[in-house]
Amino acid sequence: MEKDEKWFEKKMDRREFLKKAGIGGAGLALGVSGASAFFANKVQKEKNLVVGDEKISFYGKHQAGITTPMQRNIYFVVLDLISTDRSQVIEMFKSWTDYSQKLVDGQVIEKDSSNVYLPPNDTGEAVGLNPYRLTLTFGVSHSFLKKMKLEKKKPKAFRELPPFPREILREKYTGGDIVIQACADDEQVAFHAVRNLIKNSRRVVAMRWSQSGFAAIGDRMETPRNLFGFKDGTANDTTEKRFDEVVWADEAGWMKGGSYMAVRRIQMFLDTWDRTSLKEQENTFGRYKDSGAPLGQKNEFDPVDLDLKDEEGEPVIPLDAHVRLAKEAGVPIFRRSYSYSSGIDDVTGQFDTGLLFIAFQKTPEQFIKIQTNLGNDDKMNEYVSHIGSGLFACFAGVQKGEYLGQKLFE
C-alpha cells in the first residue's frame, strides 16, 4: 500500500487534516491552548472556540461510525428484544432513525411538552454541548433474525462465529439481539445518545451488556496506542476503494452496503505485561514500541517483511508474533477498537482493563480466518483473554425518508 494512502495522512497539511477529522477545529486553527478552550464555553464571545462543532451526517450510502476516522470515546451497548411484535420493533427503528439524525446534529431528541408534571423528553445532559462528531451505528445478530422470524432473509455470508481456541467467554458479555455503537469526541455526548435511544424503547428492548471505552486520539493525530503502549491500527486500509474491497458487504439484499461487525471484549493483563522486557514486548507484536515500525524496518508505515532474517538466519519477526500470524491469515479486516478501564477485577484485584476489539468486514469469514490463525500460537495470548464476543450485521446506510433496517422488514 502507498504510504500516502494512510489514514493518518502524512502528506496532508496538518490543519486541513484536523479540520477534516473534526479534531482541533476552530480551537486549533486559532491557536487556542487547551486551558483557554476549556473555559471558552463560559465566555459568550469565545463560544465559537470550543472544539467539537463538526457534525457527521446520519444519512448516507453506508452507516457512519465504520470507516469514519475514530473519535475519542465509545459507548457500546448490546440489547435483547423483550417484544417480538413486528410493528413495535419497526416503530422503534423508526424512532431511532428520527432521534439519531437529531442527536448527531447536536439537537435534543424531542422538545418538552408544556406540561411540567411530565418527565422531560430529552434527559438533558448534552444540552449546550457540541455534536463532537457523534456517530450512531446499528446492527442485528442471528438471534434477532430468529426471534423476528426473519431467518429466510439471512444473507449467505452471515455465519455464526465458531468457538475459538483459548477463549473464556463470560455469559454477561455475549449474546444479544441488537447493537448500538455510539462514538464521539466527548464521553457524555456518546452516553447521552445511547441513553435517550433506549429510554423510549423500554417496552421493546432490555440492556444486556455495555462497555465504554477510549482511544488515544491526540492532537498530533498519530495512530492511537493501546494499553500495552503499542500503536494499534497501523495496517488498516484508508481509501474508499479498499473499503469497498474490505469493509462493505456486496451480497444482494438488505445487507448490501452494510458491514459485519465482530466485537471481542479482550481482557489485558497489565501487571504481567508491565513486568515483561521491552524486547519481549516488541517480539510479541513484531513491531517496535516507540516508532510502531515493523521489526527490521525504520518507520511505522514501512512494509511488514515476514521473510526478513537476522545474521543467524532466524526470522526477524518471530514465528509467534501477533502481526505475523494476523498477516499470514491472508485476509484484511478493518479494526476500530477502543481501550477500556472498568475499575478493579473482583477476583484478581488487578486493573479490569482491556480492548473492546471491534472489526468491520465484508463477510464474517475474514475475522474468523484471522482469529483462527492467531489461535493457540499468538504470543499475545500470554497477556490477554477473550471474555466477550458478538457478531452483528450492521445495516447499509439510511437515505432521507427511510428508516434504519427498512429493507430487512420489507
List contacts with ligand HEM (CB under 6 A).
226, 228, 230-235, 264, 266, 268, 285, 287, 304, 322-323, 326-327, 333, 355, 357, 367, 370-371, 374, 384
Closest CB to ligand HEM among residues 180, 325:
325
State the minimum distance, in angstroms, from the CB of residue 203 to ligand HEM. 36
State the minimum distance, in angstroms, from the CB of residue 186 to ligand HEM. 25
State the minimum distance, in angstroms, from the CB of residue 249 to ligand HEM. 18
DSSP characters for 264-279? EEEEE-HHHHHTS-HH
Give me the torsion for CA of 282, 288, 292, 293, rounded to 10°.
-120
Closest CB to ligand HEM among residues 106, 286:
286
Closest CB to ligand HEM among residues 132, 340:
340
DSSP characters for 382-406? GGEEEEEEEEEEEPBPBPTT--TTH
CA of 193: how far to CAs of 60, 84, 125, in Å? 19, 24, 10
Closest CB to ligand HEM among residues 103, 268:
268
Q: Count other C-beta atoms under 10 Å from residue 67's C-beta.
A: 22
State the minimum distance, in angstroms, from the CB of residue 118 to ligand HEM. 46
Closest CB to ligand HEM among residues 192, 335:
335
Q: Name the pairing type of β-strands 259-268 and 334-335.
A: unpaired
Closest CB to ligand HEM among residues 6, 327:
327
Q: Is 120 left (phi over 0), alpha (psi -120 to 50) or beta?
A: beta
Opening angle at CA 348, ends 344 and 351, nearest 5: 30
Closest CB to ligand HEM among residues 88, 299:
299
Q: Give the three-class secondary structure for 377.
A: coil
Spatial neighbors of 273 by CB under 8 A, at least 6 apart, are: 228, 281, 383
State the minimum distance, in angstroms, from the CB of residue 190 to ligand HEM. 21
Task: Quote the cell numbers at residue 376.
Answer: 493457540
State the minimum distance, in angstroms, from the CB of residue 8 to ligand HEM. 12
Q: In angstroms, rounded to a whole number, what is the distance separating the alpha carbons of residues 256 and 395?
A: 8
State the minimum distance, in angstroms, from the CB of residue 346 to ligand HEM. 21
Q: In angstroms, rounded to a whole number, what is the distance separating the alpha carbons of residues 7 and 46?
A: 32
Q: In angstroms, rounded to a whole number, what is the distance separating the alpha carbons of residues 70 and 56?
A: 12
Closest CB to ligand HEM among residues 64, 356:
356
CA of 148: how far to CAs of 92, 168, 396, in Å? 14, 29, 19
Closest CB to ligand HEM among residues 158, 285:
285
State the minimum distance, in angstroms, from the CB of residue 370 to ligand HEM. 4
* Greatest Cα pair distance in the chain: 80
Check: CB of residue 354 under 8 Å from CB of residue 384.
Answer: yes
State the minimum distance, in angstroms, from the CB of residue 395 to ligand HEM. 23
